[in-house]
Structures are given as structure tokens and as C-alpha cells.
A and B are shown apart, each in its own frame.
Chain A
């Protein structure tokens, strides 16, 4: 029993928004918010003033602030942008735990001793943060990581540094609502028992909380009463994991480069395995005379050496062929995501069904490229082709599964009647619908100009035996877009079609 560890929480409040705005070329002081899934993750000061709060739904945010510019979260890039800042803090105080881009934890004791007090150390960290390029800095010191992070709520631009005296963190927490714990289910259960504030939870007996709510309840109790014993887990930065290969003279062929990095990839994977780690997220940085080009690759399981080489090759080739656009001077392979190897043991020792599929699909990917093997994800939209998002095997939707699910759940006013078509062509070929005199059939108002008799596609005619429509497709015609309609046609050849258009028709899908 060691008691809570004095912890400093260091926050760069606008970091995520600033970094995203910089990348997108937007004004960081404008009305900007970052989305994760269908929620607001962070908002600029201006957007926050307009009522865009963290955690609200995107639609709510857009309702409150119609001019809001939404940027999707890109955790990998945000993390990379933040790493020089982490390095600067590590220069000032060793043993930093990175929680997310913009938020760090530091063990207070050593720093306080070195800088002559917790206030001094906190001030020093705030300065280091500002010097590293953050526009704002907040530091809070309290008993344990949870109390320190929560104490950040009481800091402000006027009082950027807050030190809660040892033993008084529970007092600071007592008045806060349970939602601070970020355990909605537990909070809902406790609310039914009449417990709504951290102080009321802390006042309960630890053992009874643990008996009633399990380990999750015990953790919540130790947090609420500022008795957390787990301290800061300093991040281990193994710089030796980054493999850098320079090419002099610059390499001009993709196969030459992949050949030369093969051993690097093998050594890297082997060295990590030795350390009980496997790579799940990999960054490949290609330096050419035109500049740096980097990309984050995720693997459905973990990267084997050949997977690493494949990713490098795909990135080198880009969308083009074997010839490179510019000679490559340097190539860096950076493991961004590491996982404990034992989590992936089955994959390591081969065999299970899922692993076999994964390995085989990776092999097909290495033949056709990353985008060659696709997994369907249901989404939403007006066009049939938009309602299924095809993503490369191993990649998660950038906006999150929840966002796709939310999009799927939205009403679909232009929904075609009947079964889903067996073939979906997206923007398919142009077709002509003719009436009995061979004149094109168009939409006038909300009706067809004449009865369709012939369908002309690819130079061949099919006699129309039945049809229905036009059904308006829910495009926003009031925004100046031409109104579009859908038409179902059945022909004497037993073919059933779904057409989209108004004066000119396109084949959107067909049924067989």
C-alpha cells in the first residue's frame, strides 16, 4: 500500500483543433470542430463560444452553429504532430505518459524535487509546452492520474496552473457529477441508488461497491476518492524501432528499394518479437527531392516482414505503375502501433480459420495492391452505390463504424421499391427511354412525358413491358441541383432495370 502518486497532468487545450486546422489549411481561430464518429471530439474556442460542445452529435453541432467547419479526426497524424512536444516535455522531465494528442501525465515527485516544488515544476512544464509550439498550456497537480486530469477542469486561461494540496483531491472531486468518470452504465446504475456525485460514491464502503459493481465499480470508487495507486506509466520510446535507410545515389526503381528494405523489415519484426511485441500500425515515410510523403498503414492482425515490404511497395507505386515519380533519397519505417505478441499468439503459430483467411487475403493484396481486396460496410446515402462502402481489407472506416451506422439509419426518401438489385453500377452507362414514336421520354414536373415503349442501351433495343416511377431521388433541388428521378423498367427480355435521371437516363442497377 503506497497511497496515491502525486501526478501532474499537462494539457495543450487547443492542440488537436490547431493541428487539424493547420493540416486542412483552415484558420484555427475560425469555427472549427473535430469529429469522431458522429460526435464532436474537440472544438475551437470560437466554435465552443457558439455552443459546439465536446461530445454532442454532429447534427446538433451543425444546428447550433451552421457555419461550423467539421474536420475528421486523424489520430495517427495528430499523434505524430504531437511527438515533438512530447519530446520537449521529456527534456524537461523524464517519465512521460502520453494519453492522447494534447494530454500527458508526469510523475510529480522527481520534477518537484528538481525544480524546487510542485508549483515551480508545473510552471516549468507549462513553459516547455508553450515553447514547443502549443498556443495554450494548462497543468494540474493532484493525487493520482484521475484527480490530476479532472483538476484540469478547474484551470483557466487566467489560472493555467493548479496544484491541489496532497490529501485534498477527494474534496475537489466530491462535488462533480458521476459523468466525469466516463462510465455511463455505472453512472446510470448509481443514479438509481441516489448517488449522483463523486463525493457520494466515495462515501460508500469500498468493499460493498466492489461486491455490487465488480472491478469496474472498485476502480470508479478509488478514482472518486482520489486513492488511485496506479501511477504514471512512462511511455517507452524505443527509437531503435525506427528503421531509416538512405539511398545514395537516390533510388529510382521500386523493386530496388523493396529489395534493400527487406532485411530491415525482417530485422525489425524479429527484434520486436524478441521484445514480445508485434506491429499493428506502421508508418512509412518516403523522402524524395520533392519532399516527404508518409502514410499510415493498419494491419488486420500484425505485420509480418513481407507485409511491411508490401506496404512500402504499394506506397512507392502509388496509383501509378512501377516507375517512381521521383527518386527516393530516404525511407523510414516507423512502428506506430505495437501490441503484445501473446495477444496474437495464434496468428504467430499459424493455423486458426480466421488467421488463414487473413493470411490468404493479404497474399491477394500483395498481388493486386491494398485496394484490390475490399470488405463491404453498410452506409447511407441516396445513390445505391453510396449505401455500401467498400474498404480495403484491414482498414476501418476513417469516420468510424458508428458514423456509418448513423448514416444508414437516416431516412432514405428516394428508396427504390422492391428487392435490392443484384447488380449496382453506380454511374452506369447512359440509356435512352423512348415512347411509341421513338421520341425520348423525360420527366415533366413529376410525371413522364409519355409511356415508355423502348429502352435503348448499348445500341440494342428492348421492348418495355412494365414500368413504374418517376420517383424523386432526394437530392436537394432547392440548392440548385437538377431534380433527379428513379424509374423501374421491365423488358420483354426478362430484364429489370433501375434508371436514374430526368431528361437523360443512366442505368443505376439491374435485377436478375
Chain B
């Protein structure tokens, strides 16, 4: 609440309340402070995000990495939040269940089509967390209306694509699969190098996310050199593959096909 401006006649030292109000306003103008309240994250994802929660009213972007988006919402879903997935027609339901998402509270809207914004807004009204595919195109006005709605409903949005100024942006930098060789074995556990750019947190930080053979994120640890150049061994049989720093090194097949089709 912003108090009414005091007239000169009644000018007194501003109360603590007034100061707090002004500070909050300045904070809003400068950019939103890290979320104080939000949905719980699964323990592997907790260190990755500011505040250790999936903030109410915040937007997170996981360009090209559906499993990261699913990992972000798994904690909220397991704790009772409804989860909706819009605009991801090839969403792997079983992978989501394995990651900890509850099938009892999962709703899919594969083809929101021309109504995408209206659909996402309606979903935000009733479910806690919404994952949206990369197809959502919004004007600046629509964007701010949607974000206002998110704040109003205390919902969280995870975009499997890019987003202007998200609360945090999670990119997959490298994936090291175990178990698969040249002609033998099969995909098993994996280690995912994730670069997290959080708003107001300075330079991006690198994390190593460990995912077991069932697809559940079991732990994470900070990478020493953050988002610096990393070497990644793929499949354990080939020599190291140099992955350039920062760049989105992992392309997203389905999006590319969508463009090719």
C-alpha cells in the first residue's frame, strides 16, 4: 500500500511503514526482488533457483530443455499443486511421472492454437504451475498482462523456450549419459550441466545435475568454473567434445522439425 502524499503542513518524519512502502516501490521499479514465497522445489533443484523456491507469480525459462522444465515443477506437483502443460504436443507423460510430477493433477492442452494467450491465462487462474511450449508469442502489453495475472494468482510459469527477463533461465550445456556404448548397453543415468542465469544474481552459475536411470533428479552440485568452457564426454567411448561457453549448445530437435515441416 502506498500512503497518500503528506501535505507540507503535516510534514513529519516518515514512519517506518511509509519507508517500507517506498522501498518496495523502488524495488518494483528497479526489478523484482527474489521471491520470498513460492512452490517447493525437489531437493536437487532447490540450490539452483534464487530463494530455493519456484516463485509465486514468476516466470522461468528452460530453452530447449523439457526435462528441466518438468524437474522445476515436480516439487510443486508432488506437494499438491495442479500442473498444466500447454503447447507441448509431444510431452512425455511417463518421464514427467518418473521425475515426480503427480499424474492425478496433470492436465495437458497440446494445441492451444490461436487462443494460446487466453488458454494460458485461464490455466493460470486455476492451476499452480503451468509449463508452456515455445510457441507462445506475446506483444509487450500481453506479456505484462499475463505477468500481472501470474502475480495476482500466485501461479508460476515455466517456458520451454526463451522469455524476456525471466526470474531464472536454465540452459542445458552438456549431457553425459552413462550406459550407452557403441553398439552395446542402453541409456541409463545422466549428468546434466545446467547454466542458471538468475535475475539480479550477477554472472551465470553452472550446476551439475545428477539424474538416475529412472529419470529422477537425485542431486546437484555447483560447478567450479561456472559457465566457463567445459569438456564433455559423450557416451563414455569417444574422446572429449568441446562445448563452447554460454552458447546454447544443445539444439532442440522438435522445434527444428516444426520449422522444417
Chain B interface, number of residues (Cβ within 8 angstroms): 70
Q: Contacting chain A: which of B12-20, B45-53, B106-114, B196-204?
A: B106-114
- A79 at interface, CB cutoff 8 A: no
- B67 at interface, CB cutoff 8 A: yes
- B254 at interface, CB cutoff 8 A: yes
Contact of A509 among B92, B125, B174 (CB under 8 A): B92
Interface residues of A in 417-432 (CB under 8 A from B): 417-426, 428-429
Are B94 and A388 closer than 8 Å at their CB atoms? Answer: yes
Contact of A423 among B172, B251, B254, B256 (CB under 8 A): B254
Are A494 and B174 closer than 8 Å at their CB atoms? Answer: yes
Are A495 and B251 closer than 8 Å at their CB atoms? Answer: yes
Contact of B123 among A359, A364, A426 (CB under 8 A): A364
- A505 at interface, CB cutoff 8 A: no
Are B234 and A490 closer than 8 Å at their CB atoms? Answer: yes
Interface residues of A in 382-414 (CB under 8 A from B): 384, 387-388, 390, 393
Are A495 and B92 closer than 8 Å at their CB atoms? Answer: no
Encode contact with A along B147-178: 1 for CB under 8 Å, 0 otherwise. 00000000000000000000000001011010
Q: Is the interface of A mostly helix, strand, loop or mixed?
A: mixed
Interface residues of B in 49-98 (CB under 8 A from A): 64-68, 70, 82, 90-95, 97-98
Are A492 and B241 closer than 8 Å at their CB atoms? Answer: yes
From B251, which residue of chain A is reached at the shortest CB distance?
A493
From A492, which residue of chain B is reached at the shortest CB distance?
B241
From A367, which residue of chain B is reached at the shortest CB distance?
B115
Are A466 and B181 closer than 8 Å at their CB atoms? Answer: yes
- Determine the interface band of chain A, counting residues with CB < 8 A from chain B: 35 or more
Are B107 and A495 closer than 8 Å at their CB atoms? Answer: no
Interface residues of A in 478-512 (CB under 8 A from B): 488, 490, 492-497, 507, 509-512
Are A359 and B126 closer than 8 Å at their CB atoms? Answer: yes
Are B119 and A494 closer than 8 Å at their CB atoms? Answer: no
Contact of A512 among B108, B241, B250 (CB under 8 A): B250
- A360 at interface, CB cutoff 8 A: yes
Which residues in A have their C-beta under 8 angstroms from that of B250? 493-495, 512
- B122 at interface, CB cutoff 8 A: yes
Contact of B108 among A359, A374, A493, A510 (CB under 8 A): A374
Which residues in A have their C-beta under 8 angstroms from that of B235? 465-466, 490
Are A467 and B92 closer than 8 Å at their CB atoms? Answer: no
CA distance A237 to B174 in the complex (A): 67
Q: Contacting chain B: which of A147-155, A169-177, A456-464?
A: A456-464
Are B64 and A512 closer than 8 Å at their CB atoms? Answer: yes
From B234, which residue of chain A is reached at the shortest CB distance?
A465
Interface residues of B in 229-261 (CB under 8 A from A): 232, 234-238, 241, 243, 249-254, 256-257, 260-261
From A385, which residue of chain B is reached at the shortest CB distance?
B90
Are A375 and B180 closer than 8 Å at their CB atoms? Answer: no
Which residues in B have their C-beta under 8 angstroms from that of A496? 175, 177, 180, 187
Q: Contacting chain A: which of B3-11, B211-219, B220-228?
A: B211-219
Are A368 and B234 closer than 8 Å at their CB atoms? Answer: no
Q: List 7 A-B contacts (CB under 8 A).
A: A359-B126, A363-B122, A368-B119, A426-B90, A448-B183, A458-B260, A468-B183
Q: Give me 18 other A-B pairs in contact (C-beta within 8 A), A372-B109, A465-B241 excluded.
A: A368-B111, A376-B103, A378-B94, A418-B187, A419-B95, A419-B211, A419-B214, A420-B97, A422-B92, A423-B91, A423-B254, A429-B257, A460-B256, A466-B238, A468-B187, A490-B187, A494-B172, A512-B175
Q: List B residues at the A interface (Cβ < 8 Å).
A: 64-68, 70, 82, 90-95, 97-98, 103, 106-113, 115, 118-119, 122-123, 125-127, 172, 174-175, 177, 179-188, 190, 211-215, 232, 234-238, 241, 243, 249-254, 256-257, 260-261
Q: List A residues at the B interface (Cβ < 8 Å).
A: 356-357, 359-361, 363-364, 367-368, 372-376, 378, 384, 387-388, 390, 393, 416-426, 428-429, 448, 451, 457-460, 465-468, 488, 490, 492-497, 507, 509-512
